[in-house]
């Protein structure tokens, strides 16, 4: 667990220290986020905002499985050479599940692709986001989770 926090901390420092001034595919995207795979499917509003070419923050409020999940992810992203509009990203952050009088805290690392359609204000993202349960045991960890995002960009 300590290694995971160290890795995520290094990614965050690298993302915020970047000085690359090339324009990103879009500044802000607002739309629908879907978190699916092991466990319940979660759906709700999602926002992704680029602070620089290589740093973005994504937030989601998702509903499903009799619970509400609040999630925030810091992401490092970069263009894929020769694939206009396509970026890869890595990152992660916390996820808090609230429901049935209980709460659960997860750490969610992620890796994925983000595509901005040329000539249209639309972006599509797909990522792998395993959930690591932070608590007394690891019985709540879910390795087979994925995210899908449909966003209007501006």
Mean pLDDT, the chain, rounded, equals 88
Instruction: Report the sign of the C-alpha dihedral through residues 38, 139, 44, 50, in that order.
Output: negative
Mean pLDDT of 25-41: 95
pLDDT digits (tens, 9 = 90+) for 84-120: 999 999 999 999 999 988 899 999 999 999 999 999 9
Closest by CA to 69, choosing from 12, 108, 11, is: 108
CB 113 within 8 A of CB 146: no
Q: The whole model's pTM is what?
A: 0.82
Note the pLDDT of residue 3: 53
Paired sense of beta strands 122-128 and 67-79, if any? unpaired
The 3-state secondary structure of 3-47 reads HHHHHHHHHHHHHHHCCCCCCCCCCEEEEEEEEEECCCCEEEEEE
Note the pLDDT of residue 22: 46
| Residue 51 main-chain phi, psi, to 5 deg | -85, -25
Mean pLDDT of 63-87: 96
How far apart CA 77 and CA 94 sit, in angstroms, is 18
């Amino acid at each position: 667990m300590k290694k995971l926090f160290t890795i995520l901390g290094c990614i965050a420092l690298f993302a915020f220290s970047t000085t690359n001034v090339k324009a990103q595919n879009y500044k802000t995207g607002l739309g629908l986020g879907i978190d699916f795979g092991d466990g319940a499917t979660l759906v709700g509003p999602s926002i992704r905002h680029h602070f620089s070419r290589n740093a973005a923050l994504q937030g989601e409020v998702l509903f499903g499985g009799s619970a509400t999940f609040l999630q925030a992810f810091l992401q490092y992203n970069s263009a894929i050479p020769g694939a206009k509009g396509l970026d890869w990203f890595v990152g992660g952050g916390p996820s808090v599940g609230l429901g049935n009088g209980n709460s659960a805290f997860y750490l969610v690392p992620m890796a994925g692709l983000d595509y901005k359609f040329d000539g249209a204000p639309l972006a599509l993202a797909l990522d792998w986001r395993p959930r690591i349960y932070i608590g007394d045991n690891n019985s709540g960890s879910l390795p087979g989770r994925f995210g899908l995002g449909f966003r209007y960009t501006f």
